[in-house]
Amino acid sequence: MFRNVAELVELAESQNIQISEVMIRQEMEVKQLTREEVVGQMEKNLDVMEKAIEDGLKGVKSHSGLTGGDAVLIQNYMKNHTPLSGNLLMDAVSKAVATNEVNAAMGTICATPTAGSAGCVPGTLFAVKNQLNPTREQMVRYLFTSGAFGFVVANNASISGAAGGCQAEVGSAAGMAAAAIVEMAGGTPSQSAEAMAITLKNMLGLICDPVAGLVEVPCVKRNAMGASNAVVAADMALAGVTSRIPCDEVIDAMYKVGQRMPSAFRETAQGGLAATPTGRELEAKVYGISLKKE
């Protein structure tokens, strides 16, 4: 069983296989399942992700009324304009947003690695799909590669906003997505690790400050930024750019930053955007209570 990114890359390189293949084989071993069973279960997750994006792009609204409809706005903008940041990037953004809007509306999603950060991996996957034209099998592999990197973060650091801030959720998700894009685009296992490192470095220190305690504001838009961060980092890694700080050390740094984060910034709705005057007003409105005097 691989314990860190260095071991994961080493396993892939020494056997001349992809990261996704390392993850599939480990899962078969750990759970004593056949390849068909392991791959089949991931295909179902892929179906859930595709359906969530479809639903989100039709337009949804959360019960609180704080989020919904932005994915549609972005898609419409793409139809009528040439996005400054490019079509692929905005497509990824809209699909990440679509997923998280469905999540906020209590729809069905696949947590990747969590529900609040469920947009980055499928958002990038279904945007990159239009350019790389992967087979269904390659799309499933994308999820195994994401999972392999998330597995390392979850075991050595944290994927919980309450424990480690949003860097542990959207940060991890974005890093996972970046690594998977690299593999799908034909990059090497070590380039996947570089992309993960570059992405996570740029997410360090990200607090978890949900307005009214809900994973809506700012979470939905943070998934959009996580998705774009992932695409950019993947391109950088594919170009041959490396991270000066090795991926495992970045993950460790992320964990330590999270541990030192005050609890106000760890999903308690006590700090950051949640504690702004407007954040407090929205909170009072959502729960139908009068505004507490600070």
Partner 1 sequence: MKYRSVFDIIGPVMIGPSSSHTAGAARIGRAARHLFGREPKYAHVHLYGSFAKTYKGHGTDVAIIGGLLDYETFDERIGQALETARKNGMKIRFHEEEAHTDHPNTARLKIGDDDGELELVGISIGGGKAEITELNGFDLNLSGSHPAILLIHNDRYGAIASATAILAKNEINIGRMEVSRKAQGEQALMVIEMDQNIDDTVLSELERADHIIQVAKISE
HSE toward the beta carbon, residue 81, CA cutoff 13 A? 11
Binding mask 195-214 for partner 1 (x = CB under 8 A): ---------------x-xxx
Candidate segments 129-137, 161-169, 198-206, 233-241, binder of partner 1 by CB under 8 A = 161-169
Rounded distance, CA 243 to CA 141, Å? Answer: 24
- Interface residue with partner 1 among 18, 39, 45, 93 (CB under 8 A) is 45
Rounded distance, CA 114 to CA 112, Å? Answer: 5
Residues making up the chain, counted from first to last: 294
| Count of residues that interact with partner 1, criterion CB under 8 A | 63
User: By CB under 8 A, is residue 147 in contact with partner 1?
Assistant: yes
Query: What is residue 167's DSSP assignment?
Result: I
- Interface residue with partner 1 among 21, 97, 141, 144 (CB under 8 A) is 144
Specify burial of residue 44 (Cβ count, 10 A radius: 0-12, 13-18, 19+).
exposed
Minimum distance from residue 275 beta carbon to partner 1 (Å): 12
Candidates 205, 227, 190; CA nearest to 85 is 227
Rounded distance, CA 132 to CA 250, Å? Answer: 29
User: By CB under 8 A, is residue 217 in contact with partner 1?
Assistant: no
Where does this chain bind partner 1 (CB under 8 A)? 1, 3, 23, 26-27, 30-32, 41-42, 44-45, 48, 62, 64, 102-116, 118, 121, 143-144, 146-148, 150-151, 154-155, 158-163, 168, 176, 210, 212-216, 263, 266-270, 286-287
